[in-house]
Amino acid sequence: MNKEELISAMAKESGLTKAEARKALDAFMSSVKKTVAKKDKVTLVGFGSFEVVQRKAREGRDPRTGNPIKIPAKKVVKFKAGSTLSSAVQK
């Protein structure tokens, strides 16, 4: 499902117009982005949570040559599915 399909599904499910659904989705994504940029956690009970985590530096391998390479430490956004979402996938 891409963004346009999600907007259509949101509009159908909620009774909003596609324009209103697009505005709601854009506001949601913007709010999550701003919150995790401040290194705060966003938790949606039952759905999941978004948070920033620090990945350690590590050694990897260049897939073309097999030579070892150093992968630097970096911050990444992590999503952890909530119980309701996880159980929906298990069905």
Supply the pLDDT for residue 91: 74
pTM over 0.85: no
Beta carbons within 10 angstroms of residue 7's beta carbon: 20
Residues 14-57 pLDDT 10s: 999 999 999 999 999 999 999 999 999 999 999 999 999 999 99
pLDDT of residue 90: 86
At 35, which amino acid appears? Answer: T
What does each C-alpha distance from 18 to 29, 36, 66 come to in angstroms? 16, 27, 49
Token pair 């009970």: residue = 45
Starting at the edge strand found earlier in the chain, the sheet holding 42-44 runs: 42-44, 48-55, 74-81
